[in-house]
Structure 1
């Protein structure tokens, strides 16, 4: 099984490192090919670099580790290649105001997950995952002891759920389902109560995460 990671910024690089450490094969792609090649060389034989189209075509699962606006442009260009594949979306509806403060890029009540899922071909298997912790926290908390950190995911698709759980575990975290696509907003920032930023920066373990899912949304 191979996972394509499109985008090798902070989130994409962290996911790639964790998956390779967990024994998963990854193919890396980015707008700037040199960065993907450098990271693949760093990660060793389980990683290689390719063009975006070749990475997607050769993978079973695709992680779009890019900004939501980039996803809106990119997915329609590669949509035929996504047919039948699991698509993992870590995006958050984040923008910055004129003072550099984080603000929502979408209207209240609309999630980045609903936007991304609507872009996909009907036979793709969508799951929101790997975006519930800040990039530096995601990078630093794999295989935490004595209790692993939890990562939330959201999907209505059983195949996507199974893949997300396998990859989250391989990456060194415990998977916790927040719900279906309708729950995607709960695990996004800003505003999601299950996102790290909605939990006052806390990185929760499995029991804490399960309890939080069952709490009423504020």
Structure 2
């Protein structure tokens, strides 16, 4: 119930309207982990016209989130969300990534998977240390073989998501990385739909440049400012 109450506060800060959908057609999006990031981004996608399926280990606690997202949204289990989504957004603590990959991989084969997780050694233990050594883009891909993986939304706080989406003037930018062109194109469009500017940094091997502990992690700015920071 604490999660539900927190999300009610967070979602109340989100814009009530969104700009026109940037993607060619509404997408079915499964959200694995409907916490502060997953819930906030998912509501923005729902308000942009996409069909969103929120999931958690306790879907019965997501009633407030469902109300905020609107009539097209659904809630259920992670397996149901993975099966539902043409695109799947994974927003879980990083130590849960191996289990999520193992449990859901048969449902995710060849799908676009957007990973926003951050490995924190203080929370996630030794596996986080190893992920940061490899670069999180490479590490996450090992947990999800056979999917079209993109790293995005890991370098922005939920507070910025709730307060800066669709802001006036130049939009706040979100860095992203991926190896699959279709997945990159779809993710760029979804970032625009959520009210931000995408900055494509490069393949998954370059995602380490906006991992936590990196110089660009959490950097706020416009698309040009982030491109300058990444040397693009």
Give the unaligned 5+ runs of structure 1. 98-102
Query: CA shift at 1:104, angstroms?
Result: 9.5
Secondary structure of the corresponding residue to residue 92 of structure 1: coil
Secondary structure of the corresponding residue to residue 160 of structure 1: helix
Query: CA shift at 1:86, angstroms?
Result: 0.2
1:155 aligns with 2:201: no
Runs of 4+ in 1 over 3 A off after TM superposition: none
1:179 aligns with 2:202: yes
Secondary structure of the corresponding residue to residue 129 of structure 2: coil
Counterpart of 2:187 in structure 1 is 164
* Number of residue-to-residue matches in the alignment: 203
Counterpart of 1:100 in structure 2 is none
Counterpart of 2:221 in structure 1 is 204
Give the unaligned 5+ runs of structure 2. 1-26
Counterpart of 1:194 in structure 2 is 216
Counterpart of 2:167 in structure 1 is 144
**1:11-67 Cα distance to aligned partner (Å, 9 max, x none):** 111111211222222100001111234311332113111221111111100011101
Is the CA contact (8 Å cut-off) linking 1:10 and 1:135 kept in structure 2? Answer: yes
Secondary structure of the corresponding residue to residue 31 of structure 2: strand
Counterpart of 2:66 in structure 1 is 40
Is the CA contact (8 Å cut-off) linking 1:106 and 1:112 kept in structure 2? Answer: no
Is the CA contact (8 Å cut-off) linking 1:153 and 1:175 kept in structure 2? Answer: yes
Structure 1 stretch displaced more, 104-113 or 88-97:
104-113
Distance, in Å, in 2 between the alignment partners of 1:147 and 1:163 is 21
Larger helix share, 1 or 2: 2
Equivalent residue in structure 2 for 1:113, among 137, 140, 152: 137
Counterpart of 1:213 in structure 2 is 230
TM-score, normalized by length of structure 2?
0.82
Distance, in Å, in 2 between the alignment partners of 1:76 and 1:167 is 26
Query: CA shift at 1:116, angstroms?
Result: 1.3
Distance, in Å, in 1 between the alignment partners of 2:63 and 2:111 is 24
